[in-house]
Amino acid sequence: MNHSDDDSRRLTVNVALGPRSYDVVVTHDRPAELSATASAWLERSWAGRSCRRALIMTDEHVATLPPVANVRDALGALKIEVETVAVPPGEASKGLATASELYDRLIAMKADRHTLIVAVGGGVIGDLAGFVAATYARGLPLVMVPTTLLSQVDSSVGGKVGVNHPQAKNIIGAFHQPIGVWIDTATLDTLPVRELRCGLAEVVKYGVILDAPFFEELEGRAGEVLDRRPEALRRIIARSCELKAMVVTQDEREETGLRAVLNFGHTIGHAVEAVAGYGGGFQHGEAVAVGMVAECRLAERLGWIGPDLTARLTTLLERFGLPTSLAGLDPEALLDAMGRDKKNRDGRIRLVLPRRLGAVELTDAATIDDLLDVLRDLCRTAS
């Protein structure tokens, strides 16, 4: 991580992918710096060097907020002609029908391979705009401006973009790295508290899977983070991006299996989302939080870890206001949903389980009985 001026008020994480390398800049309320930063990113990109037009893709909730105006001003200062398109907020927009409307907009503005796409919003916008950028004219330069904690620490870094099919989430997609990611923690000042907490579940995940000292830091700074102190937010976001970049640079396209460690909490978490109903009782980060607790319990049953790790994880998640039980859900339905996970092989459910704090392993060692016992216990427990 590179530290720069004003007592680390701007942190930079490099995602080292050879010719596809890019920087993630984490700052707080410094929109005046975006123009020069975007100019440098465009200059490093073959497609960006000749950029004279840009399309900002956002949603109707974000369209009137400062991040969109900041991007327009920054690109306007570079003499780039900017248009903005806003789609309805929510997962329903992340499909081929919306993508097709965005292609129409690009054709209407005579976009070519030097037209910049800027995704301003949460994970849905990042995935959708990234997919359009990856597929229009076989690839347009893309800048990510994530505005939720979840998108800042997760979906904006790594190059996975995609849209949903009516039968499956994220099943139509590509790998398309951005030319840069601009994270302004000031956008979190007005983020609903539930969405802040959902992002914190992914932050905690990085500590469990890769960095025990970072987990300990989160335990010690939970109050500062919940108070949204800019320095604390910059630190946890930059470290999360750094840890994700470390994995992505070693397994960019999910070919070696290393990137699977990022799925800790997600196998059970995705099942929770599916059974509770998307947009239902569990948002993504909440489902991942309970998934992490369940997967720690499984590791305990296998004798991989002691109960202390599960207890520390549960305490930290509850400190962040996240659920740690599945009261009211059906364990058999959860198990059935887990059977459709894309990590499974030869009919066996594979999960990422902790070996110790800071280290996890992809395994199919847990039996159906192990899974059912853990799920039944969590479904009985009131959070």
| Alpha-carbon span 243 to 227, nearest angstrom | 24
| Contact call for residues 303 and 351 (beta carbons, < 8 A) | no
Backbone φ and ψ for 61, nearest 5 degrees, come out as -75, -35
**176 annotated to bind ligand:** no
Q: Which helix (H) or strand (E) holds 359?
A: strand 359-363
Contacts of 18 (CB under 8 A, 6+ apart): none
To which residue do tokens 């392993």 refer?
A: 361
Contacts of 372 (CB under 8 A, 6+ apart): 331, 332, 335
**248 annotated to bind ligand:** no
Catalytic status, residue 255: no
pLDDT in tens, 128-137: 999 999 999 9
Catalytic status, residue 165: no
CA count, 13 A, side-chain hemisphere, 351: 31
pLDDT in tens, 305-343: 999 999 999 999 999 999 999 988 999 999 999 887 666
Backbone φ and ψ for 134, nearest 5 degrees, come out as -70, -30
Encoded tokens for 272: 């929770």
- What DSSP character marks residue 131? H
Catalytic status, residue 356: no
Catalytic status, residue 61: no
What is the predicted pLDDT for the residue at 281?
A: 86
**266 annotated to bind ligand:** yes
- Residues of 312-347 as b/e, b for ≥16 C-beta within 10 angstroms? bbbebbebbebbbbbeebebeebbebbeebebeeee
Please pick, among 28, 94, 266, 350, the residue that the annotation labels catalytic.
Answer: 266
**187 annotated to bind ligand:** yes
What is the predicted pLDDT for the residue at 8?
A: 63
pLDDT in tens, 354-372: 999 999 999 999 999 999 9
Catalytic status, residue 284: yes
Domains in the chain, ordered, with CATH?
2-190 (3.40.50.1970), 193-380 (1.20.1090.10)
| Alpha-carbon span 143 to 22, nearest angstrom | 10
**148 annotated to bind ligand:** yes
Catalytic status, residue 259: yes
